[in-house]
Amino acid sequence: MTTAEDGTVYLVGSGPGDPGLLTVKARDLLERADVVLHDRLPGPEILDLIPDGNAEDVGKRAHSDKRTSQAEINERLVAYANAGKSVVRLKGGDPFVFGRGGEEAEYLAEHGVTFEVVPGVTSPVAAPGVAGIPVTHRDHASSVTFVTGHEDPTKPESSVDWAALAEAGGTIVVLMGVTRLPDYTAALRDAGMDPETPVALVERGTRPNQRVATGTLETIVAARDEVGIEPPAVTVIGGVAGVREELEAFLR
C-alpha cells in the first residue's frame, strides 16, 4: 500500500463492537496498512481482519494493569510514519470521542506527520440506540451531552459541572461511568434533578452479550447491582431512557 515517501497515520474508529458496524473504509485500511496499533475495545472479530504480524496491542496488557504509555504510542506513530509506513491507530467507537485521538492528532501535526481521521460509530449514540433509546426525541430532549463519569464529582478539580448539567435539561450520556454511578446520580439529584428521571445502563451495546439495566435517578444503582452491569457501559439519563419501555417488546 505504501511507497517510501508515504508515511500516513490513519486515526480510525472501530465502532461500538459489532463487526458489522465497522465502516468499509476502516476495514480496507485494517487489511492494507503496514502496521495497526490498537486498544482492547475493538474486539476479536475486528482484530482478526489485521494480517498476521501487523497488529500491535497498545491497550491494557494481559494479567497487568499496565498500558503502553500515551507518550510511547505517540512516538511509535511518528517513527513508523517517518519510516514510510502506512499506520492505522485503531480505537473503539469514534477516535475523537473520549479516545485521546485529538491529542494524537496534535502530536502528529507538531511532528509534521500527515494523518487522516476515519470516524467510527460512537458508543454513546449506538449503544442506547440498539437498546431502544433515541438520544434525542422531540417529546423528551432537544440536546444531548456526552460526559465522562471517570472523575469524582465531589472533588473540586472535577472538570464536569453536574449542577449545570442538571439545570440544562436534555439527555446526558455518561461514558466510563459504571463505578462512579452512585456519585454522579447523587450529584444530579442534589442539584435538583427529579429523582424520578429515567436512567438506563447499556453494557456492551451492539455485542451479542449486551445487557441493559433500567431505573430512575434514585433506583439505578440497585438496578446496576442486580443485573451486574460492568464496563464498558454507557449511562443514559433523561426522558429518552423511558422510551425503551414502549419499544422493548419489538426490538430484535
Ligand X SMILES: C[S@@+](CC[C@H](N)C(=O)[O-])C[C@H]1O[C@@H](n2cnc3c(N)ncnc32)[C@H](O)[C@@H]1O
- In the complex, the residues that contact ligand X under the rule CB under 6 A are 16-17, 41, 91-94, 97-99, 122-123, 127, 175-176, 202, 204-207, 231-234
Q: Annotated catalytic, 28?
A: no
Q: CB-wise, 197 or 235, nearer to ligand X?
A: 235
Three-state SS for 242?
A: helix
Q: CB-wise, 204 or 224, nearer to ligand X?
A: 204
Closest to 141 in 3D by CA, of 243, 246, 240, 247: 240
Q: Annotated catalytic, 66?
A: no
The whole-angstrom separation of Cα 155 and Cα 115 is 37
Residue 171 is placed in which grid cell? 439527555
Residue 237 is placed in which grid cell? 439519563
Q: Annotated catalytic, 25?
A: no
Characterize the bridge pairing of strands 198-203 and 171-175: unpaired
Q: CB-wise, 141 or 175, nearer to ligand X?
A: 175
Which among 1, 28, 60, 152 is annotated as catalytic? 60
Least spacing, CB of residue 230 vs ligand X, in Å:
10
The whole-angstrom separation of Cα 119 and Cα 178 is 25
Residue 250 DSSP symbol? G
- Sign of the torsion formed by the C-alpha atoms of 91, 97, 103 and 106: positive
Least spacing, CB of residue 239 vs ligand X, in Å:
20
Q: CB-wise, 122 or 197, nearer to ligand X?
A: 122
Least spacing, CB of residue 104 vs ligand X, in Å:
12
Least spacing, CB of residue 82 vs ligand X, in Å:
26
Please give the positions annotated as active site: 39, 60, 176
